[in-house]
C-alpha cells in the first residue's frame, strides 16, 4: 500500500482513537516535516477515513500548520498589543527588508520563515521575537541584522 | 496501610510529603532561587542559573540552587533570590551572569550586595491554610532594601490564585504539598458534592476567563445533569494579547490547577478532565505535563484517590493556534478534531458539551481559586471584593507603565490605584491616555474614568469588559484610531469566518478605519462604523463576533476627537499614522554625525559630515530606525 | 409538547422543531439565504435572526438553528431585528450586487441606499454548495479552507477532485449565481426598480402589526388607523425617489 510507508515514519505518540486524534497527528507531522505535505494528508484521509476536505480545512484553519515547506529557522514576531504599541510592526518591517522579502513567508533559499504570531505572553519585554526556541526581548531595529546574521551563518554551516 | 514509595493515599502520607516540602522551602543550608518562567528565560535567566551553578561548583559551596516560578515582578527579570536560614529572603533584580557570579562569590563572607537588591521578604502567606511561611522574624531587615510590604507594587496585592508563584519550585510536588492538596483531601473525604457547591455559591466566585458566570451555578448545572460521561475542561487558551496570567499560573504552580480540577470532577461527577493549552506556550505545556505525571505517580490521579471510590484522569490537549478556540464551543470543536467554529448556545456546554455530554469549562485561574475556597470556606473568600464581584483577580499590567507586572488585587480597587500606585504611573514625561482592558473583546478607558472600580459591572458599563485580565496602559504616543485598526485587524483574521456579519462586517470596518488612518476618511465614515459595529454585535453567532466591535465603539465613544482630526484635518494627533506624519531633522540640534544615514535603508537622509542632515520625505518610509540611533534627538516627527 | 410564543401567538410544537419551521408554519415570513429544507441548518447568513427573550436581556439568534423550547418568547419583526436585517442586507448588496436573490431581498426589505463600496464577489459562503455535495449528493468533494477574511470554498489542494461527479447540484443550489435584472441602471450598486415602503406601525408599536408586504394602503393609513377616526386634513404625498440610486457618494 502506497500510503503506509509515509505514515509509518510518523512517531505514533498517540494512537489513532478517532477524529479527536486528527489535530495531534497533524501536529506530529508538522513538527517532523516542518509542513504538511499533500501526500501525507491524502494518506491520512484514506487510512483513517476522514474526508480530505475536512483535513484541508483543519490544516488551513489553525496557525501552527503550513501547507508550504517552511524555512530552516522560524522567525516569529509577536504582534500582541503591548508589542504593537512599542513598535513591533516596525521590527517586522525591518526583518522583511533585511531578508529582501515583500511580505511574510519563506525566503527563496528556505533559510527563514518569517511570520507574525499572536501574543507570546512576555509583554513586559515588548517588542519580542522568537527564533526557533529562543525568545528575544526588548528588541530594537538596530539589533535585527546581527541576530539574523547569526542564524544565517548557522544555515551556511549546516549546508 | 503501606503504599508504594511516593504514593500519597492517606493524610499521613500528605503530612510526610508536606514535611519534606517544607524542608526544601526552608532548608538548613543557604539556597539560591532563580526565576525560570518564560519572561525570565527570555531575558537570560537560564544563563544566570548556569553561571550561579558553575560558580558554586568552582568555589565548592554546598548551597542549593533551585528554580522557582514567576513572582510577577516582570520589569525586574531576571530575578534571583538568596535565602539564608533564619534571614529574610532577598530578591535581586535585573541580574546577569556577571553580576550573579559576583553575588555568589560575596555570599560566604556575608556580602549581600544590597545595591542590586530590590526587595526583602520575611514570609509569605498561604491562603489555603491561613498560615505564613516564615523565612525569618517579621521584624528582620536588610539595610537599604525595602521590604515587600513597603513596595507599592506589592502593598496593594492579595495573592490567592498566585499564592505559590515565585515561592515554590514548580517541578516539586513535595513543595506544592507543603502548601496544598489539603483541599482535595478535605473535599473527597469530608464533603459531599452539594457542600462543595454551597461553598462556591457563598464565595461569589465568578468565572475568571472573562464572562464572569457564577462558578457555583455552573458546577451545579453540570452536577444535576444525568447524562454521562461528564467532562471538566481547563481553558488555558489564553489568546488575549497582553494577557499572560494563565501562562504564569501553569508555569509556576501547575498543581493548583490540577487540584481544582480534581475537586471539580468529584463535585460534578466527571471522570475525565482536559487541560487545553495554547501551543504557543511550550513551557506551560511542559510544566503541566510534568505535574500530571507526578500526580499520577503519587496516586492523586487515577483510581481510588485517597482511598475513596473516586477516580479521575486528566490529559493535556494542545491548541493549534486559533484565538477563537478560547470560546467554549470552539474549544470543544477543536478537542473533537474539528475546526474551531463556535456553535449557537443554547444548548450550553454544561448541558451538551464535549461529544454532546455535560461539560464544565472554567478558566485556569478559576480552577486555581478552588483549593483556598474549599479549605477556608466561601464566606472567607467573599470578605474581599465588591457586592457583585467577590474575591481577587490577577491582572497583567503592561504597556506604558513604569512597572509592568503580573499582579493580583481584590476586586473593587480603582484603576487609578492599579496604574499609579502599583504600576508606578507613566514614565519619562509622557502622559496617560487610556487603559485597555479585556483584550480584543474589551475597550479603552480614558483618564476621566480612572477612578472606576475594577469589577465586572463597572467595566461593562464603561464600554469595556473585565476579560481575562489583560490591562494595557497607553500614553500619548499611542493613536487610538491606530489601536482600533490593530484590534480590527486581529479580529478579522482570527474570526472563524462562518457567519456573514462577523466576517464581512469586520472586513469592512477594517477597511474604513484603515482609510481613516491613511488620511482618506470621509465625513459619514464614523456613522457607518457605528452602524456596522452595532450590526456585528447584534447579529453574530458567538462571543468573538458580539464583542469584536468593542474596541472601535469604545474609542469612538471616548476619543471621537481623534477620529475627527484624522477625517477632517487629515492629522494624527499622536503622530503615529505613517501617511499623516513626516520626519524632519532640526538643523539646530543635528551635529552631522551621520549615524542616521548608516541605518537608513531607504537612502532618504542626505548631508555632509559635521553638517546638519536633511531627510528626503519622498523616500522616507518612516521606519523609525534613525529615531533609535540619534543621540542629540534631533529628529522630530510632525 | 413545548409551548412557545411567537409574535404574541402562543402555540405548541413538536419537540425538535426549529423557530424558523414554526414561523413558516404560521405563515410568518423570515428571510433566509443559507437555508434549504433539504439540508441541515447552518446559521451562517444571519438573515433569519429573531429577537429571543424579553428586553433588556433579549438577544438576536438565528431562527434556523434555534430549537423551540418551553416558554420561549420570540419576535420576528421587532425594531431591533428590522434594523439588524437592513444593515445586513446593505452589506449583502455591497458584497454581491450582481445577485438577483440579494437584490430582490433588498428590495423587499426597503433598502434605499448602500453606503459601502461594491465588491462583486461571487460567494457569500452560505455553505449550501458544501452541504449539498456532502448531504444530498453524498460526495463531499469540496469544503471550506482558511479562516476569517481569507476563508473560502475550494476543492482540497485546488485540484478537481476525483470524488466530484460533476452533477451540478452545487450550481443549482447557489443563491448568488442568478444574475440580477439588467434593465434600468444596470451599473448601480442598488437595483431600485421597485418602490418599497417600510411599515409605519413599526415606529408606534416597536413591531410590525401584520406580516404582509407593506403597500401603499398601509403607508396611507399609517398612524391614522391606529390613532382614531380618519383625519381628512392629512394628505398623502408621493415620496420622491432617492436622487442617488444607492450609489456610494
- What letter does residue B243 receive in the DSSP assignment? -
- The contacts of residue C243 (CB under 8 Å, 6+ apart) are none
Low-confidence ranges of chain B (pLDDT < 70): 1-5
- The contacts of residue B488 (CB under 8 Å, 6+ apart) are B506, B509, B510, B513, B548, B551, B552
Residues paired with residue B470 on neighbouring β-strands, in sequence order: B396
Q: Beta B635-637 vs C49-52: how paired, if at all?
A: unpaired
Residues 390-419 of B with CB under 8 A from A: 396, 398-400, 404-405
Asked if A84 contacts A50 with a C-beta cutoff of 8 angstroms, the reply is no
Q: Interhelix angle for B550-558 vs B560-568, to 10°?
A: 90
Asked if A93 contacts B252 with a C-beta cutoff of 8 angstroms, the reply is no
Chain A interface includes B467 (CB < 8 A): no
What are the residue boundaries of the structural domains of chain A, listed by start?
Answer: 3-61, 73-158
Distance from CA of C55 to the nearest CA of B (A): 13
The CATH code of domain A73-158 reads 3.40.30.10
Beta strands in B392-494 (DSSP E): 392-399, 405-410, 432-437, 443-446, 470-475
Nearest to B265 by CA among B302, B210, B307: B302
Residues of chain C contacting residue B543, judged by C-beta atoms under 8 Å apart: none
* Residue C245: predicted pLDDT: 40
* Nearest residue in A to C149, CA atom: A61
Distance from CA of B243 to the nearest CA of A (A): 6
Contact C146 A38 (CB under 8 A): no
In chain B, the domains with their CATH numbers are 21-155 (3.40.30.10), 181-381 (3.40.50.11540), 392-475 (3.10.20.600), 480-568 (1.20.1440.230), 582-637 (3.30.70.20)
Tell me which residue has cell 486528566: B314
Report the number of secondary-structure helices (H) and strands (E) in chain C. Answer: 7, 7
Neighbours of C198 (CB within 10 A): 16
* Residue B574: predicted pLDDT: 92
- Pick from B323, B334, B461, B503 the residue to mutate for testing the C interface (most C CBs within 10 Å): B503
pLDDT tens digits, residue range A20-62? 999 999 999 998 888 999 999 999 999 899 999 999 999 999 9
Contact C140 A56 (CB under 8 A): no
Q: How far apart are CA B170 and CA B431, in angstroms?
A: 39
Q: Beta C152-154 vs C143-145: how paired, if at all?
A: antiparallel
* Residue C42: predicted pLDDT: 94
* Nearest residue in A to C156, CA atom: A53
Nearest to C5 by CA among C83, C74, C94: C74
pLDDT tens digits, residue range A4-16? 555 665 555 557 8
CA B86 to chain CA centroid, nearest Å? 33
- The contacts of residue A26 (CB under 8 Å, 6+ apart) are A36, A44, A55, A58, A59, A65, B320
Residues 27-86 of A with CB under 8 A from B: 27, 54, 57-58, 61-65, 79-85
What are the residue boundaries of the structural domains of chain C, listed by start?
Answer: 3-114+192-227, 128-173
DSSP B266-326: HHHT-SEEEEEE-TT-HHHHHHHHHHHHHHHHTTSSBSSGGGSS--BEEEEEE--S-GGGG
Calculate the alpha carbon distances from B424 to A127, A128, B154, B159, B248 in Å. 21, 23, 11, 19, 22
Contact A63 B335 (CB under 8 A): no
Calculate the alpha carbon distances from B610 to B24, B426, B590, B605 in Å. 63, 36, 9, 14
Identify the residue with better confidence: B333 or C222: B333
A126 pLDDT above the threshold of 60: yes
CA angle B480, A81, B274 (to 5 degrees): 140
Q: What does the block give as the cell for B15? A: 503530612
Q: How far apart are CA B564 and CA B558, in angstroms?
A: 12
* Residue C194: predicted pLDDT: 54
Mean pLDDT in residue range C134-153 = 92
Asked if B278 contacts B235 with a C-beta cutoff of 8 angstroms, the reply is no
Q: How far apart are CA B481 and CA B555, in angstroms?
A: 7
Chain C interface includes B513 (CB < 8 A): no
Asked if C54 contacts C73 with a C-beta cutoff of 8 angstroms, the reply is yes
Give 3-state DSSP helix, strand, coil % of chain C, rounded to 5: 30, 10, 60
Q: How far apart are CA C214 and CA C235, in angstroms?
A: 19
Biggest CA-to-CA distance, chain A: 54
* Residue B1: predicted pLDDT: 43
C196 pLDDT above the threshold of 80: no
Contact C149 B506 (CB under 8 A): yes
Contact C91 B505 (CB under 8 A): yes
Biggest CA-to-CA distance, chain B: 88
Asked if B307 contacts B10 with a C-beta cutoff of 8 angstroms, the reply is yes
* Residue C218: predicted pLDDT: 64
Sign of the CA dihedral with B388 first, then B390, B396, and B402 last? positive
* Residue C228: predicted pLDDT: 43
Q: What does the block give as the cell for B110? A: 556575608
Asked if A15 contacts A48 with a C-beta cutoff of 8 angstroms, the reply is no
Calculate the alpha carbon distances from B458 to A135, B363, B413, B415, B449 in Å. 37, 21, 11, 11, 10
Chain C interface includes A49 (CB < 8 A): no
Question: Omega into B346 within 30° of 0, i.e. cis?
Answer: yes
Residues of chain C contacting residue A58, judged by C-beta atoms under 8 Å apart: none
Q: What does the block give as the cell for A63? A: 496557525
Identify the residue with better confidence: C43 or B601: C43
Asked if C24 contacts C30 with a C-beta cutoff of 8 angstroms, the reply is yes
* Residue A10: predicted pLDDT: 58
Neighbours of C243 (CB within 10 A): 6
* Residue B5: predicted pLDDT: 59
C179 φ, ψ to 5°?
-80, 150
* Nearest residue in A to C151, CA atom: A61
C232 pLDDT above the threshold of 90: no
Q: How far apart are CA B614 and CA A145, in angstroms?
A: 25
Chain A interface includes B581 (CB < 8 A): no
pLDDT tens digits, residue range C64-97? 999 999 999 999 999 999 999 999 999 999 999 8
pTM of the shown model: 0.91
The CATH code of domain C3-114+192-227 reads 3.10.20.740
Q: How far apart are CA B145 and CA B83, in angstroms?
A: 15
C192 pLDDT above the threshold of 80: no
Contact A58 B339 (CB under 8 A): yes
- What letter does residue B472 receive in the DSSP assignment? E
* Residue B345: predicted pLDDT: 86
Identify the residue with better confidence: B614 or C63: C63
Tell me which residue has cell 500582541: A80
C239 pLDDT above the threshold of 60: no
Amino acid at each position: 500500500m502506497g500510503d503506509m510507508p509515509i505514515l509509518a515514519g510518523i512517531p505514533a505518540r498517540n494512537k489513532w482513537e478517532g477524529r479527536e486524534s486528527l489535530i495531534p497527528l497533524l501536529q506530529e507531522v508538522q513538527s517532523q516535516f516542518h509542513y504538511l505535505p499533500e501526500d501525507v494528508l491524502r494518506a491520512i484521509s484514506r487510512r483513517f477515513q476522514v474526508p480530505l476536505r475536512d483535513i484541508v480545512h483543519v490544516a488551513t484553519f489553525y496557525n501552527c500548520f503550513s501547507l508550504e515547506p517552511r524555512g530552516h529557522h522560524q522567525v516569529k514576531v509577536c504582534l500582541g498589543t503591548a508589542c504593537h504599541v512599542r513598535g513591533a510592526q516596525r521590527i517586522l518591517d525591518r526583518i522583511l527588508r533585511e531578508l529582501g522579502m515583500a511580505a511574510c513567508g519563506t525566503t527563496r533559499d528556505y533559510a527563514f520563515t518569517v511570520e507574525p504570531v499572536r501574543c507570546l505572553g512576555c509583554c513586559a519585554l515588548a517588542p519580542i521575537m522568537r527564533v526557533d526556541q529562543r525568545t528575544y526581548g526588548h528588541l530594537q531595529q538596530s539589533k535585527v541584522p546581527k541576530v539574523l546574521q547569526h542564524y544565517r551563518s548557522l544555515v551556511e554551516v549546516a549546508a | 496501610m503501606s503504599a508504594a514509595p511516593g504514593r500519597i493515599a492517606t493524610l499521613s502520607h500528605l503530612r510526610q510529603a508536606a514535611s519534606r516540602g517544607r524542608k526544601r522551602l526552608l532548608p538548613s543550608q543557604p539556597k539560591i532561587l532563580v526565576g525560570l518562567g518564560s519572561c525570565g528565560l527570555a531575558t537570560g535567566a537560564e544563563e544566570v542559573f548556569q553561571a550561579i551553578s558553575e560558580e558554586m561548583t568552582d568555589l565548592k559551596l554546598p548551597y542549593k540552587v533551585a528554580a522557582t516560578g514567576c513572582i510577577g515582578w516582570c520589569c525586574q527579570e531576571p530575578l534571583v533570590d538568596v535565602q539564608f536560614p533564619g534571614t529574610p529572603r532577598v530578591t535581586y533584580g535585573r541580574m546577569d551572569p556577571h553580576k550573579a557570579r559576583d553575588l555568589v562569590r560575596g555570599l560566604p563572607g556575608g556580602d549581600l550586595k544590597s545595591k542590586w537588591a530590590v526587595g526583602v521578604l520575611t514570609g509569605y502567606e498561604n491562603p489555603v491554610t491561613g498560615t505564613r511561611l516564615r523565612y525569618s522574624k517579621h521584624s528582620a531587615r536588610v539595610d537599604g532594601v525595602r521590604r515587600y510590604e513597603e513596595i507599592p507594587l506589592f502593598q496593594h496585592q492579595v495573592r490567592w490564585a498566585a499564592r505559590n508563584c515565585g515561592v515554590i519550585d514548580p517541578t516539586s510536588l513535595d513543595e506544592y504539598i507543603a502548601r496544598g492538596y489539603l483541599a482535595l483531601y478535605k473535599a473527597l473525604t469530608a464533603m459531599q458534592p452539594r457542600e462543595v457547591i454551597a461553598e462556591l455559591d457563598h464565595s461569589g466566585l465568578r468565572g475568571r476567563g472573562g464572562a464572569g458566570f457564577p462558578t457555583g451555578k455552573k458546577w451545579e448545572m453540570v452536577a444535576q445533569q444525568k447524562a454521562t460521561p461528564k467532562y471538566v475542561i481547563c481553558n488555558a487558551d489564553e489568546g488575549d494579547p497582553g494577557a499572560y496570567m494563565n501562562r504564569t499560573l501553569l508555569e509556576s504552580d501547575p498543581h493548583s490547577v490540577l487540584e481544582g480540577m480534581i475537586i471539580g470532577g468529584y463535585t460534578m461527577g466527571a471522570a475525565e478532565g482536559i487541560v487545553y493549552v495554547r501551543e504557543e506556550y511550550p513551557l506551560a505545556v511542559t510544566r503541566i505535563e510534568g505535574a500530571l505525571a507526578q500526580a499520577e505517580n503519587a496516586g492523586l490521579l487515577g483510581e481510588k484517590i485517597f482511598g475513596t471510590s473516586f477516580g479521575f484522569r486528566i490529559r493535556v490537549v494542545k491548541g493549534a493556534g486559533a484565538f477563537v478556540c478560547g470560546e467554549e464551543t470552539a474549544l470543544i470543536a477543536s478537542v473533537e478534531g474539528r475546526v474551531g467554529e463556535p456553535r449557537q448556545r443554547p444548548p450550553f456546554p454544561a448541558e451538551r458539551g464535549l461529544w454532546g455530554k455535560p461539560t464544565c469549562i472554567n478558566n485556569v485561574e478559576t480552577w486555581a481559586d478552588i483549593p483556598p475556597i474549599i479549605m477556608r470556606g466561601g464566606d472567607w473568600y467573599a470578605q474581599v471584593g465588591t457586592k457583585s464581584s467577590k474575591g481577587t483577580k490577577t491582572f497583567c499590567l503592561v504597556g506604558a507603565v513604569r512597572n509592568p507586572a503580573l499582579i493580583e488585587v481584590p476586586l473593587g480597587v480603582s484603576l487609578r490605584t492599579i496604574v499609579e500606585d502599583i504600576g508606578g504611573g507613566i514614565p519619562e514625561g509622557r502622559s496617560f491616555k487610556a487603559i485597555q482592558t479585556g483584550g480584543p473583546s474589551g475597550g479603552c478607558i480614558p483618564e476621566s474614568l480612572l477612578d472606576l472600580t475594577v469589577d465586572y459591572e463597572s467595566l461593562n458599563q464603561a464600554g469595556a469588559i473585565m476579560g481575562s485580565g489583560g490591562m494595557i496602559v497607553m500614553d500619548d504616543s499611542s493613536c487610538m484610531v491606530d489601536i482600533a485598526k490593530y484590534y480590527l485587524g486581529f479580529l478579522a483574521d482570527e474570526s472563524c469566518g462562518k457567519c456573514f456579519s462577523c466576517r464581512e462586517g469586520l472586513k469592512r470596518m477594517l477597511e474604513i478605519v484603515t482609510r481613516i488612518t491613511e488620511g482618506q476618511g470621509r465625513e459619514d465614515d464614523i456613522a457607518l462604523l457605528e452602524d456596522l459595529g452595532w450590526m456585528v454585535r447584534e447579529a453574530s453567532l458567538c462571543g468573538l463576533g458580539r464583542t469584536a466591535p468593542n474596541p472601535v465603539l469604545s474609542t469612538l465613544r471616548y476619543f471621537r476627537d481623534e477620529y475627527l482630526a484624522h477625517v477632517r484635518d487629515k492629522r494624527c494627533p499622536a503622530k503615529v499614522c505613517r501617511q499623516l506624519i513626516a520626519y524632519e531633522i532640526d538643523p539646530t540640534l543635528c551635529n552631522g554625525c551621520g549615524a542616521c544615514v548608516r541605518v537608513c535603508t531607504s537612502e532618504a537622509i542626505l548631508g555632509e559630515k559635521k553638517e546638519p542632515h536633511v531627510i528626503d520625505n519622498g523616500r522616507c518610509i518612516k521606519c523609525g530606525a534613525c529615531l533609535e540611533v540619534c543621540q542629540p534627538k534631533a529628529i522630530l516627527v510632525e | 409538547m413545548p409551548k412557545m410564543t411567537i409574535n404574541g401567538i402562543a402555540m405548541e410544537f413538536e419537540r425538535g422543531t426549529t423557530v424558523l419551521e414554526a414561523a413558516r408554519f404560521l405563515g410568518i415570513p423570515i428571510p433566509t439565504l443559507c437555508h434549504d429544507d433539504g439540508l441541515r441548518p447552518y446559521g451562517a447568513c444571519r438573515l433569519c435572526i429573531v429577537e429571543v427573550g424579553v428586553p433588556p436581556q433579549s438577544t438576536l439568534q438565528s431562527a434556523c438553528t434555534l430549537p423551540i423550547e418551553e416558554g420561549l418568547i420570540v419576535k420576528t419583526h421587532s425594531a431591533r431585528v428590522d434594523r439588524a436585517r437592513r444593515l445586513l442586507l446593505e452589506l449583502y448588496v455591497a458584497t454581491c450586487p450582481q445577485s438577483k436573490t440579494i437584490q430582490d431581498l433588498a428590495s423587499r426589505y426597503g433598502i434605499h441606499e448602500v453606503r459601502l463600496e461594491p465588491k462583486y464577489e461571487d460567494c457569500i459562503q452560505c455553505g449550501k454548495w458544501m452541504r449539498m455535495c456532502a448531504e444530498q449528493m453524498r460526495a463531499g468533494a469540496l469544503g471550506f479552507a482558511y479562516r476569517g477574511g481569507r476563508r473560502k470554498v475550494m476543492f482540497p489542494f485546488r485540484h478537481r477532485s476525483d470524488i466530484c461527479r460533476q452533477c451540478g447540484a452545487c450550481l443549482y443550489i447557489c443563491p448568488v449565481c442568478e444574475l440580477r435584472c439588467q434593465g434600468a441602471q444596470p451599473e448601480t450598486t442598488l437595483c431600485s426598480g421597485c418602490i418599497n415602503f417600510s411599515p409605519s406601525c413599526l415606529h408606534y408599536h416597536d413591531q410590525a402589526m401584520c406580516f404582509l408586504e407593506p403597500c401603499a394602503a398601509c403607508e396611507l393609513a399609517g398612524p391614522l388607523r391606529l390613532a382614531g377616526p380618519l383625519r381628512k386634513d392629512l394628505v398623502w404625498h408621493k415620496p420622491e425617489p432617492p436622487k442617488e440610486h444607492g450609489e456610494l457618494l
